[in-house]
Structure 1
Amino acid sequence: MSTVVEPPYTPSAPARRESALRALLRNRSGLIGTVLTVLVIATAVAGSVGALPYDPDTQDVAAALQSPSGAHWFGTDQFGRDVFSRVASGLGSSLLVAGVSVALSGSLGVVLGILAGYYGGLLDRVIGVLTNVLFAFPSLLLALTLASTLDRSWRTVALAIAVVYLPIFVRVARGPVLTLRSADYVTAANAIGQRRLATLFTHVLPNMRGIVLVQVTLTLSWAVLTEASLSFLGFGTPPPAASLGVMVYDARTLSSIAPWLLAGPGIALIVFVIGLNMFGAGLRDVVDPRAGGRR
């Protein structure tokens, strides 16, 4: 993916942000992705603050395995718990884990990628070797190994997922820096004696924020799927917290008589992943309009 490199200083930043937002909403993928993502995040926030029609952990055996209705939008499970409330609560847990993991991997990965690309030499080779080692392992297997060897908690799961996606951000950040470090304004900043670290964070980093932001949206959707996969295998967010992966696992044996148990968490995952990917595609078109023709 290529980016259009602009000078670090633009006099009308508020106008640029406003036009970028309008361009995103005029983009079909961006608009649909924004709507779906906001819808899922709003549901997750409602689940996190308890603004739900039912308590996700309250059992009512008399109402077990009820099909979807006006009272229970996604039906009830084998313990009489409202499936929609549990899906909303599970989305909140998944977004918390995925958000923390992407924040860790993104911040550290971008810093390492910038340092490797800008300084080069031994530092670049060392970071490159570590990145290649992490890339050598299948992502889910690496996350499963890390999550199973540490104490089981949502923080452990977030840390394991962060390690998995760290090398992606290193690669994403390093590539543009190789071009930006020879730009005229970077050369001028070095010539007047500006500190290298100051040059990196005032001239180089602002010119790659678009590609990093697009990668964040894509990685967030992957992180949600990874968290759900770990929970499905029994190494994700521990109970009693609701988890989409655990809900899918529990629904396997009852899917023939209560298919809504599988449909609820499945639809939530599908909508969120599609929404984030469409949002990322629209954002990429805004950041680099030429990318739309190369998709």
Structure 2
Amino acid sequence: MSALPTQPEAMAPSAPARRDSLPRALVRNRSGLVGAVLTLLVLVVAVAGWAGAVPYDPAAQEVAVALQGPSGSHWLGTDQFGRDVFSRVAAGLGSSLLVAAGAVAASGTVGVVLGIVGGYFGGIADRVIGVLTNVLFAFPSLLLALALASTLSRNRATVALAVAVVYVPIFVRVARGPVLTLRGTDYVVAATAVGQRRLATLFTHVLPNMGGIVLVQVTLSLSWAVLTEASLGFLGFGTPPPAASLGVMVYDARTLSDVAPWLLAGPGVALIVFVFGLNLLGAGLRDVFDPRTGGRR
């Protein structure tokens, strides 16, 4: 879980061509279509858990039905306190998604801005940003998140902050590479030659041509942020109880695997399907935005 996600390949700009809309292009791409369906399925469950639209209160304990297997009344069984596992998985997904989305939004915003500043304007700003990025990359991602989470108070906001710091350097490099390529293209050089201001050139010619690669990285980082949040919960530094946490559920299931093996199925399958779906969706988006494939890969 400590490995960093692989940043997508830089895609060279090409001449404008007629392309399908994003939904139609994803439908034509098998990876993107499967990933979108899996991601949407998990999102529905996560939103239901976050909104409380689940069969049982995730925190309600009923010792009389503790450690019961899957049944019509409890689809994924109950845990050692008699809590409904499905309701807790849905609530845990909602909590993980909220933390991961906040972390990726923060890291993406900061990282893309720094990458654009360093790649487009260069100079001392690029060197300073490069040094800071390399320093953050020197630490294993999970170890850095764990060190930050252990020094902060335990709540969703601080967990999101700890995860966000880990992914800032990834977005810096993802944004900086395309900017370096785009600023040397003919249309950017021509815009500068006719006297267009650098900021105007940045917003009219550079940013619109790098949106695709940033969107691909957002999907990949979101999947890894969910895993990082679950890992922190497993190690005892995630979202504190009584809130449901997929990482804590996996930890509890590990200790009860001999007597209640179904406890691991719910949170484990939820994590696998969500991460697998997001990675397939990211692969599909990469193909859609890649001018060499036109979304047909």
- Identify whether the pair has TM-score above 0.5, normalized to the shorter chain: yes
Contact 2:232 2:247 in 1 (8 A): yes
Q: 2:157 is matched with which residue? A: 155
> Distance in 1 between the 2:246 and 2:106 partners?
22
Aligned equivalents of 1:163 and 1:253: distance in 2? 31
Q: Over aligned residue pairs, what C-alpha RMSD do you find?
A: 1.9
Q: Per the alignment, in what secondary structure is the counterpart of residue 283 of structure 1?
A: helix
User: Which residue identity is paired with 1:2?
Assistant: A
- Higher helix content, 1 or 2: 1
Q: Distance in 1 between matches of 2:241 and 2:14?
A: 49
In the TM superposition, 1:176-195 aligns within 5 A as 176-195=178-197
Q: Deviations over 1:27-81 (max 9, x none)?
A: 1111110000000001000001111111111111111111011211110001111
Residue pair 1:77, 1:261 contacting (<8 A) in 2 also: yes
CA shift in 2, pair 1:289/1:184, >3 Å: closer
The within-5 A match list for 1:57-206 is 57-206=59-208
Partners of 1:222 and 1:108 lie apart in 2 by: 18
Aligned length: 288
**1:114 & 1:262 partners in 2: Cα distance?**
43
Contact 1:6 1:207 survives alignment (8 Å): no
Gaps of 5+ in 1: none
Matching residue of 1:5 = 13
Q: Which runs of 5+ in 2 are unaligned?
A: 1-8
Distance between the aligned counterparts of 2:13 and 2:284, measured in 1?
19
Amino acid in structure 2 at the alignment position of 1:205: L
Name the CA distance, whole Å, in 2 between partners of 1:151 and 1:211. 34
Matched, 1:265 2:267: yes
What whole-Å deviation, never above 9, does each CA across 1:144-196 have from its counterpart, x for those lacking one? 00111112111111111111010000001111111101122222332343332
Following superposition, the deviation at residue 292 of structure 1 comes to 10
Shift of 1:6: 4.2
How many angstroms does 1:291 deviate by? 6.8
**How many angstroms apart in 1 are the aligned matches of 2:52 and 2:152?**
30
What secondary structure sits across from 2:210 in the alignment? helix
- 2: CA distance between counterparts of 1:50 and 1:131? 40
Match of 1:225 among 211, 224, 227: 227
Residue equivalent to 1:245: 247
Name the CA distance, whole Å, in 2 between partners of 1:113 and 1:276. 24
